[in-house]
Each structure stands twice: as C-alpha cells, then as structure tokens.
Amino acid sequence: MTDLSDRYGAVTHEVVNQPTELSDYNMFDSDAALKEALSREGAAWAVEDVSRFGALTGSAAYLELGALANKHQPELDTHDRFGRRVDQINFHPAYHTLMQTAIEEGIHSSHWTDSKPGAHVARAAKFFLQSQVEAGHGCPITMTSAAVPSLMLQPDIAAQWVPKITARSYDARNLPAEQKTGLTVGMAMTEKQGGSDVRANTTRAIAVGAEGPGQAYELVGHKYFVSAPMCDAFLVLAQSSKGLSCFLLPRWRPDGSKNPIQIQRLKRKMGNVSNASCETELRGALAWMIGQEGRGVPTIIEMVAMTRFDCMIGSSGAMRAAVSQALHHCKQRGAFGKLLVDQPLMQNVLADLVLESEAATVLTMRIARSMDNRQVPHEDLLARLITAVGKYWICKRSPGHAFEAMECIGGSGVMEDSPMPRLYREAPVNAIWEGSGNVQCLDVLRALHKTPEVLSAYFEEVGKARGMNADLDRHVQQLQTDLDQGNDLEFRARDLVDRMATGIQAALLLQHAPDFVSDAFCASRLASTGAHQYGALPRSAQVRKIIDRAMI
Ligand SMILES: Cc1cc2nc3c(=O)[nH]c(=O)nc-3n(C[C@H](O)[C@H](O)[C@H](O)COP(=O)(O)OP(=O)(O)OC[C@H]3O[C@@H](n4cnc5c(N)ncnc54)[C@H](O)[C@@H]3O)c2cc1C
C-alpha cells in the first residue's frame, strides 16, 4: 500500500528554526562574569577545579538529574509496613546523586574545612553552578553548611557533630548519627502562629536533668515548616524556663531509639518540589541546648545569616541559568527575517537581563570575599549589612527576571519539558524563606541602628567608584541625604534598600566590569526615572557587546 505521506509529499514534521538543547557546555568557562569574579575575589587557585565542575554541571546527563529530581517528587512514609514509625522520605535516585555530588564537592563544608584564603569564594562559585542544575537539594546543602557557626557556639556538642557534618560523605540512611559517615542538618523555627516573628514560638523545652547550655531537654510542640526532614538533626527554637533558646534535635536518640519528631504531612509547594518540606510534631523529642539559654535567636541567627547569603548565591545562579536559556534560544531562533538576537528590541531585552544577572553575580562574589575575611572589620561590617541588602534585592529581582527570560523563548518556554517553568516557580522561594523581603529591609535598619559603622563601611565600599560615573555619584549623595532624614525610616525601608543595592552593584561593576556593562547599568538603574519593564535600556547602551560578553 502506498504511504500517503509519500503520495502527497505530506511530510509535516520537518523541524526548522528550533534551537538545540542547551547542554554539554562548560557552565563556568562560558560565564565571563563568574570567571573574572572567582579570581578577582581571591580564589584564583580554584579556577581549574571550578572549571572541571562547570563541565560536569553543564553536561546533558547532569542537567537531566535536575529535571528528574523534580519530576519524581519525594514521598513520605510515616510508618513501615509493620506499623512502626519511620518518618522516611523517599527520593528519586537523581536527587540522591545531586546531594552526593554536592557533598563530595564540599559545597556544604569546604569553606569551613579549607584554610586557604578564598575558600568561601571558591565554594560560592561551585554552589552558583550547582544551583543552575537544581535548586531544591540546595536547601539541605545550605542548611548543613550554615548550621556549623551556630553549633560552634556550643563546643562540646560541636566536637561530636561537626566532623561528620563537614565530612565529604553523603550517607542517606535513616539511622542514628553514630552509625553514619556523614550528617546533614536542617532547621525548624517557623510555627503556625509566626514565621518572621519567631518570638511567638510556643514549642516548650523541658529539662531532662540539669538546665543550661549543652544539657538535654525534651521538646513538645509543632513546627509548621521543616524542610529536608530526612536531615540527621535540626536546629530548633523552643521556650525553656529562661525564654526562647536554640537546640540541636537529633532524628534518632543516641540509644538507637526513634526520637519523636513525627512528620504529619509533606507540604504541597508550587516550586522547590524536589525538596521535601513538612509539618512536624515534637512529642517529647530529645534535644541539647546550643548556646546561652534564652538567647536562641542570636544563636540561630548565625545559621540564618549564612542561609541568607546562600539565597543570594542561589538566586544569582538562577538568573544566570535563565539568561543562558534566553540567549541560547535567541541566537538560533529567527522571526521576521532575522535571528531574534539581531532584532533591536530583543537585543534591548536580552542585554537588560544580562545586566541584572551580571550585577547579581558581582555582588554575590564580592560578599563571598567578605565571608573569607571576617577578621577585617570593613569586611565583617560589609557582610553584616549586605547579606540583608543582597538577599532582599537579588532574590526579589529573580522572579521577574525568570519570567522575562521565559518570554524571550516564547510559548515553548512555558512548556513543562522546558527548564523555564522550574526556574520560574523556584524564583519566589528564596525571597520568602529565611526572612521575607520586608523582614530583610527591617534587618538592614536594625543593623544601621545597632552597628552604625555598617553604613560607613557601605559608603566606603561604594566610594571606591567615586568619580567614575556621575549618575552613581548623584545616587550615593541622595541616598546619604535620605538616610540622614531619620524619621519614618521603616516606611521608606524598601526604597532605601533598593537604592543601597543598586548603588553597590553599580560601584562594583564600574570597578570590575567592562565599561559597556557598567555604563548601561548606571544609565538604566540609576539615571532613569519612572517604572520600566526589562528592555527599556537607553540608546547609549551597547547592547551587542553586552550580549556577546554573556553568550554561551
Ligand atoms: C518552601 C519553604 C520551605 C520552608 N522551610 C522552612 C524550614 O525548613 N524551617 C523553618 O523554620 N521555616 C521554613 N519555612 C518558613 C519560612 O521561613 C517562613 O514562611 C517565613 O519566615 C515567613 O514566615 P510566615 O510564613 O509565618 O509569614 P509571616 O511572618 O506572617 O509574614 C508574612 C509577610 O509579612 C511580612 N512581615 C512580617 N513582619 C513584618 C513587619 N514587621 N513589617 C512589615 N512586614 C512584615 C513578611 O515579610 C511577609 O511578607 C519555609 C517556607 C517555605 C516557603
């Protein structure tokens, strides 16, 4: 019988004008802004290693792990088939491979264990790359890393736990910590009645014997958001007799019995779905007090500060992932007789997305250097202030950026077999957890009030670019004036923090990026007035150069 398609020449499925998959590329080598920052901020020694890692993270097989870990979402078994309580989360093997790789690469610990100057910078670069593959598993990686400074406040407990927390061994078994080769740590602060305002926590801590730091307590209460509940232990806030205190709560008791941290259900999230988050009951769960009694918030804030910095890294990485997809698509897709990348209006949009992404990368890597140099007062003050400024600004810029990149790709960008929906749904999460936008802005005000030197450090840092761009000079002067008007700071906090963020990003770009990047950034972010969408760069912007610099 004649094939009808032959008879009519009716072959309909010739695929033309469709781009290739963005894969099998070196995610690090192709990222000029990241590459430059890695060496500039103090980790030139890590270039070879991070480049090796960039080849892995850009490989098709590795990128596929990110898709699989999200397609096959974690499932909860509260009990085993015999009815015994297990609180077991079952993940797709892709998730475990991502966790294992992150831990073997030291993304959870190299900045604590490696004494080389620039260890934070090198680790930030790796986390930036890993985040572009998959964000959800980044949550336990971050929390495990961030738990270390809080635990160090209780040296006896730290001596037992930190070596296995920082070990480069991923051990996913649901067993007591003593039997495992590597441990992960989560955190449980949020309760139903209050997330931002943890002082509202009602979970009770009852001393088993003696009271005080390092002592054993039993915790009774409910935690409304606990991510990565398969972690081996959690830093938890609870009320002891002297007020809100911080505790380390193991998943299993040292005697091998199950600690009653009972998972009630997994959250149904709109993004970050590879990461299990749950509601948990603590029914007399054993925990040890960490740090001073009644000083739970200052103790756990050591952890929270590091998670906030990781939100900056993750969202900067996500922006780079989004812009890479948009550029890769537009350089291959034609419309109205030209490639999209050659259409003037698309050039304006792409260049604007690149600027946002590069500014986020530069700020994040600069603060990684501060993390490496906390013994230098200027760096310590900068880290204190800019983790709040940058967490607020970069994480908030990410959702709009992801959406605009999706639109560059058009309808295919909306489809679930594209990476864009995952990037888009992931984007708001970093802005909301670890202190939502307003909370970050209020934290900036708190820092200004408690440690006024942070502001001098900010202006000193921004002042390094004084005289390089008239718009920045004006911007800084106006910011200074507006900060000096001390009334109603709380009402104006977002406006002030927005301007602090763009001011420091501009100053860094002026010092470290090509002129065509910094000039366009200043012209569009500091000089222009009124509300704009992406793609409203002024005529002076050298969009082709900006795009070429970021092109894969
Ligand atoms: C995916 C996911 C995973 C999470 N995992 C964890 C986890 O592992 N452990 C954990 O402890 N928590 C976790 N959380 C909880 C998260 O940290 C909280 O949702 C967050 O801190 C906000 O608290 P809330 O939801 O109670 O909102 P609220 O505290 O009620 O805040 C609501 C809004 O009010 C704003 N606001 C609060 N106070 C003020 C103020 N004074 N002035 C102006 N505005 C204000 C906030 O910025 C926010 O926008 C997770 C959340 C998500 C989404």
Per residue in 385-412, pLDDT (tens digit) is: 999 999 999 999 999 999 999 999 999 9
Mutate which of 139, 141, 189, 190 to test ligand 1's pocket (most atoms within 8 Å of Cβ)?
A: 190
pLDDT of residue 333: 98
From the CA of 490, give the closest atom in ligand 1.
42
Per residue in 501-522, pLDDT (tens digit) is: 999 999 999 999 999 999 999 9
Quick check: helix, strand or coil at residue 187?
strand
Q: Give the distance, in angstroms, between the CA of residue 487 and the centroid of all CA atoms in the same chain.
A: 33
- Checking if the pLDDT of 210 tops 70, the result is yes
Q: Compute the distance from residue 1 Cα to the ligand 1 centre, in Å.
A: 66
Helices (H), 267-419: 296-330, 344-372, 377-409
Average pLDDT on 515-533 reads 92
Total residues belonging to the chain: 552
- Checking if the pLDDT of 5 tops 80, the result is no
pLDDT of residue 531: 81
Q: Compute the distance from residue 198 Cα to the ligand 1 centre, in Å.
A: 10
Quick check: helix, strand or coil at residue 247?
strand
pLDDT of residue 89: 97
Per residue in 225-242, pLDDT (tens digit) is: 999 999 999 999 999 999
Average pLDDT on 347-359 reads 98
pLDDT of residue 529: 75
- Checking if the pLDDT of 8 tops 80, the result is no
Contact 483, 337 (CB under 8 A): no
Contact 296, 214 (CB under 8 A): no
pLDDT of residue 10: 65
pLDDT of residue 4: 58
Q: How confident is the model at residue 2 (pLDDT cuts 50, 70, 90)?
A: low
Per residue in 149-198, pLDDT (tens digit) is: 999 999 999 999 999 999 999 999 999 999 999 999 999 999 999 999 99
> In sequence order, what are the residues at sequence separation of 6 or more whose Cβ sits closer than 8 angstroms to the Cβ of residue 505?
359, 360, 362, 363, 521, 525
Q: What does the mean pLDDT of the chain come to?
A: 96
Per residue in 290-328, pLDDT (tens digit) is: 999 999 999 999 999 999 999 999 999 999 999 999 999
Pocket of ligand 1 (CB under 6 A): 186-190, 194-197, 225-227, 269, 272, 277, 429, 432-433, 436-439, 442
Per residue in 450-491, pLDDT (tens digit) is: 999 999 999 999 999 999 999 999 999 999 999 999 789 999
- Checking if the pLDDT of 146 tops 90, the result is yes
Q: Compute the distance from residue 100 Cα to the ligand 1 centre, in Å.
A: 29
Measured distance CA(440)–CA(398) in Å, rounded: 16
Mutate which of 225, 237, 491 to test ligand 1's pocket (most atoms within 8 Å of Cβ)?
A: 225
Measured distance CA(545)–CA(533) in Å, rounded: 21
Per residue in 49-90, pLDDT (tens digit) is: 999 999 999 999 999 999 999 999 999 999 999 999 999 999
pLDDT of residue 530: 78
From the CA of 439, give the closest atom in ligand 1.
47
> In sequence order, what are the residues at sequence separation of 6 or more whose Cβ sits closer than 8 angstroms to the Cβ of residue 531?
none
